[in-house]
Amino acid sequence: MKLTVRDDGGKELEQIEVADEVFGVAPNQVVIHQVYVAQMNARRSGVANTKTRGQVRGSTAKLRRQKGLGRARVGSLRSPVLTGGGVVFGPTTRSYSQSIPKRVKRLAIRSVLSAKALDGSLVVISGIAADTPSASQLRRTLDSIGAERSALVVTGEPDRATFLSARNLEKTMVLPAGYLNVADMVNHRHLVMTPEAIRAAEALWGGDPAIRRRPVAAGVAEEGPGPVPVAAAASDDAPADSEAKPRRRSRRAAAEPEGESDA
């Protein structure tokens, strides 16, 4: 798959080849929705809390006597039917986070990247970086490439100047490629990436995590098998059982004096 690289003025410069496994997969809307909901739920604080009648402070004395007043009987001041009492089935502090497998997260990110590339919302730009922060310059650049309404700018490495330039722009956000996530991509109409960000995304989200293994240290494979374990070496050098210790005599043989036999 090929994408067009543009300059800060919107002019086409070249075509670059991108990995189909990252930018050319069939978008899975179910997985995107699942990861998006999980990510938004993880942002919830979940600190709402109420007290039950057993947690509210108050006297344990009976409010009024049981009979003779013509009113309803009542006992504890902390009853939920009284003002200032406990709350029945109220909210308590909880975590809204959901556990999502890594493979599902990776598929969701690849699906969003592919969907953006498919509908033309993914723009590759070469001249997004600036030496000094300038909101007006970044706004002109986004306007020239048609990403003026809402844009997520992705850089290869953290870029402080670009981050400060977009801080005062409405519906504009800057992220390095390592912090790319489903929610921010879905919440912005356009995805603006640099060629360095494209390569970083391919390195991060390309391939199958199931076949990735920890790299073997240099020289380990050439040296052959390592030393024999201590337990194995001891078992090889140990003498046979018959030589190590004599067999235990039976009780009858132990009771008879040496040299005597049944014969």
Give the total number of structural domains in the chain: 1
Distance of CA 31 to the CA centre of its chain: 15
- Residue-number span of the structural domain to which 127 is assigned: 2-24+120-207
Instruction: Establish if 164 belongs to a structural domain.
Output: yes
Residue 173, SS3? strand
Is 68 contained in some domain?
Answer: no
Query: Tens of pLDDT along the chain (263 residues)?
Result: 899 999 888 888 899 999 999 999 999 999 999 999 999 999 999 899 999 999 999 888 999 999 999 999 999 899 999 999 999 999 999 999 999 999 999 999 999 999 999 999 999 998 777 788 999 999 999 999 988 889 999 999 998 999 999 998 999 999 999 999 999 999 999 999 999 999 999 999 987 554 444 455 555 444 545 555 544 444 555 555 545 566 666 666 666 665 555 54
Residue 14 host element (H or E)? strand 12-17
Residue 152: closest CA among 124, 176, 127, 172 = 172
Asked if residue 99 belongs to a domain, the reply is no
State how far Cα 26 lies from the chain centre.
22
Tokens of 15: 């075509």
Q: Are 35 and 185 in contact (CB under 8 A)?
A: no
**Residue 72: inside a domain:** no
The pLDDT value recorded for residue 182 is 96
Burial 95-121 (b: 16+ CB within 10 A, else e): eeeeebeeeebbbbbbbbbbbbbeeeb
In CATH, what number is assigned to the domain containing residue 183? 3.40.1370.10
What are residue 6's phi and psi, to 5 degrees?
A: -115, 160
Q: What is the structure's pLDDT at 127? A: 76
Q: What angle do CA 108, 15, 137 make, to 5 degrees?
A: 80
Q: DSSP H helical segments within 94-216, as ranges?
A: 102-118, 135-144, 160-166, 182-187, 195-205
Q: Please give the structure tokens belonging to residue 126.
A: 């070469």
CB count within 10 Å of CB 184 equals 16
With respect to residue 15, please indicate whether it lies within any of the assigned structural domains: yes
pTM of the model: 0.70
Residue 185 within any structural domain of the chain: yes
φ/ψ of 123, rounded to 5, equals -120, 130
| Rounded-to-integer distance, Cα 104 and Cα 40, Å | 16
**What is residue 27's predicted lDDT score, i.e. its pLDDT?**
94
Residue 188 falls inside a structural domain: yes
Sheet containing 151-155, strands listed edge to edge, beginning at the edge strand earlier in sequence: 12-17, 2-6, 122-125, 190-193, 151-155, 172-176
In-domain check, residue 173 = yes
Q: What single-letter amino acid sits at 177?
A: A
Instruction: Give Cβ neighbours of residue 212 (< 8 Å, ≥ 6 apart).
Output: none
Is 114 in a helix, a strand, or coil?
Answer: helix
